[in-house]
Structure 1
């Protein structure tokens, strides 16, 4: 039997904490609008933090499936962006300590990895474990972003009705972690933010805001969000400029708005899942937004 504690190393002594929240997100699975990545990346950029534990990525990652970036300068290699999967200790704007686990999703040893996280959860006396990510939905960007809450106990859920019934889907390390921790009696929950399907491949700061606002509502943690709100406002302005210059896009968005409003009123449709439903002029919508997003990437580089 392998020892799960061999899968990580501690950076000094474990901090003495009282019922902290652990937020986590792993890059590599579905994350429409980069909601989870942007949310936790924003916290790490805005808040002082230190590494508590680092996982052995050599054991957990398949480098050939997600090759790390290296820099070649003229005639030699000058840099290597080493992947890192770590637990960080941070404090919110009120001084309340909490933990952040982030990095690439493990490719292998999922069971040992979840057991290792469970050991850390016990040792750090974690009260709640929470994740967040984005899922593509047939919703317009002109309406409030909703989310689907899920968790190990019914009382952990926020009351938002789920658009899903019973489904079988490809698993993820994040989902398995929630499942295994829940089986051990831990409070584990998550928020899947509903991202407009035509923006799923873009960085959509509004989705990251929705993740962090859901976490605040669920835990009481308070985060600095001004920078993220500014990025969200800028993104919306750019999207509106693109739509206003295209009759086809304007018509398609209006169709989504009517569909969304009818769903909200209970007039039609069982759900707004983008995968199951043909969107109004969907091909034109996706193609024009892909071109728009490519232009944004070129102008930012």
Structure 2
């Protein structure tokens, strides 16, 4: 499972889903890139924090790969933690790549990541992403699943993206993985653009729901269900005090109900996905959005 902060991570949904898995799985760090090689610190600044003992430390942008402590063996949790552990036949085979999208040297970065993947004998990659889109927060989060691998598409009855235009690091990794014989799959969630500044637990939950279905594991939801409901109620409260925002959301709801139906069609989500990418072709990071009660520009990538 792969997710990166930045262009591909609206509402922190993709990294939120992978971070959830990291907390639930018995994984250990198996590889880490040198941040000096791949990050521009003026663009991805390091952060400083204070721990419980009062110590100060700097955290640098990075990309870290995690693997199972005992590959191929399903973790056996303590009885009291049994409800908060990933289970299923694939639970001991999940590797994770989590980090910040690199600022430079994407070809070298990709080669380094693929070397680690081949060394770990990884047999498939799932890329997770999230995009800002014209969707209402009150409806189910739209999920778009695609693959460039014909066998994966046939097995899962999914589509191939027809998008042409600027891309993120996920697309570069996906192409390189396919070239070395590792099949790939992309799962994207659509996040309402008018709440782009806040993390979206509802989108994290939607990605985890789809992941559970595809990789055949059982993933505990923990507090995600209640957090998603609270997120939705919080936006409802904001809209209740802003007539213009409420009217805009009502338009989105009507469009979703009319065109999409409760379960959005693959074609509709694909169009939404491609529309997003074309609008992001200006190189902005997707942070523009709702301001002063008006809808702003929309602002979206895989394990």
How many Å separate the matches in 1 of 2:29 and 2:115?
Answer: 17
Paired residues of 2:131 and 2:276 also in contact (CA < 8 A): no
Offset, 1:99: 0.8
Higher relative contact order (CA 8 A, sep 6+): 2
Which residue matches 2:79? none
Q: Distance in 2 between matches of 1:161 and 1:152?
A: 8
Query: Would you say the 8 A contact 1:54–1:86 is kept in 2?
Result: yes
Residue in structure 2 matched with residue 139 of structure 1 by the alignment: 135
Deviation at 1:130, TM superposition (A): 0.7
Of the three residues 164, 167, 170, the one matched with 1:167 is: 164
TM-score (norm 1): 0.74
TM-score if structure 2 supplies the norm length? Answer: 0.74
After superposition, residues 62-81 of structure 1 pair within 5 angstroms as 62-70=40-48, 78-81=56-59
Count of aligned positions: 255
4+ runs deviating over 6 angstroms:
274-277
Structure 2 counterpart of 1:247, from 212, 221, 243: 243
Does structure 1 residue 287 correspond to structure 2 residue 265? no
Aligned to 2:86: 93
- Larger fraction in strand: 1
- Pairing partner for 1:219 from 212, 215, 219: 215
Listed as ranges, the gaps of 5+ residues in structure 2 are 69-74, 76-84, 280-287, 296-303
Give the C-alpha shift of residue 65 in structure 1: 1.9
Distance 1:248 1:139 in 2: 16
The equivalent of 1:188 in structure 2 is 184
Structure ID, larger Rg: 1
Do the aligned residues in 1 keep the contact of 2:146 with 2:158 (CA within 8 Å)? no
1:42-53 correspondence runs (5 A): 42-53=20-31
The gaps in structure 1 that reach 5 residues or longer are: 1-22, 278-282, 291-301
Once superposed, what is the RMSD of the aligned Cα atoms? 3.0
Residues 130 and 165 (structure 1 numbering): CA distance in 2 closer, same or farther, change over 3 Å?
Answer: closer
